[in-house]
Amino acid sequence: MKLTYYGHASFLVEVKGKKILFDPFITQNDLAKNIDIEKIECDYIVISHAHSDHTGDVVAIGKRTKATIICAFELYQWLSKKGLENFRPMNTGGKWTADFGSVKCVVAQHSSCFEDGTYGANPLGFVFNTDEGDFYYSGDTALTMDMQLIPKWAKLKFAVLPIGDNFTMGADDAVMAAEFVQCNKVIGVHYDTFGYIVINHEDAKKKFAEKGKELILMGIRETIEI
């Protein structure tokens, strides 16, 4: 598997020859200015919730690539009015088996609303089972007891967790989340983009290391083999 980071909570996973893009928010992210979204190719776009820092570029990228958008049912209703055509609408607890493996929607404790005030459904996290390994993207969330269920569904190779605090978990709770989901390798997201969520990278890494876990903070546009 390959993972490319596009800043904030946006990243792309390549698994079984398929490209899965998560929460595209690039053109409005000052830290990601050097990324040309016209060059991003993907087969699927996974959207965790309606907030603009997760949906900012979904219409542009979705229209050009014709990627299948995996999102909550109400997000599908809103996005389908914006000219997007290919969807897999889902909701909490549901699982879908596709060509890359399977994806299961899990609880995220957050809020979800479009900028125009349209209801954005419950926010979602996602557990992926694939032949190349399992992974979890929590989406924007607080630490929740529900995360303890995830090891029943997957043996995680890595987890993508927010660590920026203020709007989501901070590093301390993300360490506990990594314990709940039984995963030692965490990709940190949702930090530094805005003043409210600027963090000390070394402190965050130390908190994970103290529990025998690795926190990976990727450069924007960096790709790693994972």
23 binds, among Ni ion, Mn ion, none (CB under 5 to 8 A by kind): none
CB of 27 to Mn ion, least distance (A): 16
Bridge partners of 128, per DSSP, are 103, 135
Interaction with Ni ion in 46-85: which residues (CB under 5 A)? Answer: 51
Verify binding: residue 140, Mn ion, rule CB under 5 A: yes
Which of 113, 224 has the CB closer to Mn ion?
113
Task: Burial-class residue 70 by CB neighbours within 10 Å (0-12, 13-18, 19+).
Answer: buried
Verify binding: residue 53, Mn ion, rule CB under 5 A: yes
With a CB cutoff of 8 Å and minimum separation 6, the contacts of 130 are 1, 15, 16, 100, 101, 102
Which of 100, 136 has the CB closer to Ni ion?
136
CB of 212 to Mn ion, least distance (A): 28
Binding-residue total with Ni ion (CB under 5 A)? 2
Tokens 């087969």: give the residue. Answer: 43
CB of 82 to Mn ion, least distance (A): 20
Could you tell me if 101 and 127 are in contact, meaning their C-beta atoms sit under 8 angstroms apart? no
CB of 102 to Mn ion, least distance (A): 25
Give the strand order in the sheet containing 124-129: 95-98, 101-107, 124-129, 134-137, 156-162, 185-189, 214-216
Can you tell me the distance from the alpha carbon of 100 to that of 44, in angstroms, rounded to the nearest whole number? 10
Amino acid code (one letter) for 221: R
Which of 154, 189 has the CB closer to Ni ion?
189
CB of 51 to Mn ion, least distance (A): 5
Which of 51, 205 has the CB closer to Mn ion?
51
Contacts with Mn ion, residue ranges (CB under 5 A):
51, 53, 140
Residue numbers at the binding site for Ni ion (CB under 5 A): 51, 140
